[in-house]
Amino acid sequence: MTAETIESHLLPKHVGMVMDGNRRWAKKAGFSNPGLGHDVGADHVADLLGWCTHWGIDHLTSYVLSADNIRKRPKSQVDHLFGILAEKLPQTVVRSNRWALHVSGDLSLLPDDAAEALREAERETADRPAHLTMAIGYDPHGDIVEGIRRAIAAGVIELDEEAITAALPGGPIKEIDLVIRTSGEQRLSGFFPWQTAKAEIVVSEKLWPDFTEADFAEALRFYARQRTSNLNA
């Protein structure tokens, strides 16, 4: 099974990315300001969108910034991340000409300029065929609570799994099939626990800026092998 011969029914419909290791990458690269690794990591998102497009994957969810990190990281680090959210990531999605942006998280935790840049990108890209959900100001319990609140507000009488799933923030397909985490950390850090309940997980030792298209293809091959095994079980 080569990189170019994975049958479409063996590919994940929805990929989740935990893009970790930006600061460690910058330190390793000799940057005096480790925060600059986040700029490189943000630029790398455009590559990720291209890889998904190449493989025909139309649903992608990425972990950008948790609510805990906003509250607990030093102000200088958080302010730098807010700048990236205001100036880099929304424009990356808009320039893709293919991806619709959805934000899952509490934008009230962000400065007004960053929150408005993200909302404007959501509005500008709303009618596009592929869907990128970014976890920003994200809290895993809050995500589930928000889904329940939305379902109730929509008049759902019976709160079953299907109703709550459909009401969760994000793109139209909620269930994540494959989660890829960079930097070697063996944990999900609260990454969409409801949506990843049945996901396969790949942990790469690569730091996010070093993660390549070949690494992405290898994760897809792993998923295809697991899918084949499950179908034949």
pLDDT in tens, 202-222: 999 999 999 999 999 999 999
Model confidence band, residue 130 (pLDDT cutoffs 50, 70, 90): very high
Say if residue 3's pLDDT is above 50.
Answer: no
- How far is CA 44 from each of CA 22, 100, 210, rounded to the nearest angstrom? 11, 18, 9
Residue 64, SS3 per DSSP: strand
Model confidence band, residue 23 (pLDDT cutoffs 50, 70, 90): very high
The pLDDT, as a whole number, for residue 220 is 98
- Judge contact between 101 and 134, C-beta under 8 A: yes
* Backbone CA torsion sign across 98, 189, 44, 42: positive
Model confidence band, residue 232 (pLDDT cutoffs 50, 70, 90): confident
The pLDDT, as a whole number, for residue 5 is 76
The position carrying tokens 């999605």 is 93
- Please report, in angstroms and rounded to a whole number, the separation of the first and last CA atoms in the chain: 19
Per cent of the chain over pLDDT 90 is 95
Stretch 76-99: mean pLDDT, rounded?
96
Say if residue 4's pLDDT is above 70.
Answer: no
The pLDDT, as a whole number, for residue 87 is 93
- How far is CA 98 from each of CA 57, 118, 184, rounded to the nearest angstrom? 12, 16, 31
pLDDT in tens, 145-159: 999 999 999 999 899
The position carrying tokens 């269930």 is 175
Stretch 97-106: mean pLDDT, rounded?
98
Picking from 128, 64, 65, 81, the residue whose alpha carbon sits closest to that of residue 101 is 128
Beta pairing class for 130-138 and 59-66: parallel
Residue 155, SS3 per DSSP: coil
The model carries a pTM of: 0.95
Which amino acid does the sequence have at 221? R
The pLDDT, as a whole number, for residue 231 is 81
CATH classification for the domain delimited by 19-232, as one of 3.10.520.10, 3.50.50.60, 3.40.1180.10, 3.40.50.1010: 3.40.1180.10
| Residues designated catalytic | 20, 69
Angle at 20 between CA 64 and CA 200, to 5 degrees: 90
Q: How far apart (Å, rounded) are the C-alpha atoms in residues 29 and 41?
A: 13
Kind and range of the H or E run holding 179: strand 178-181
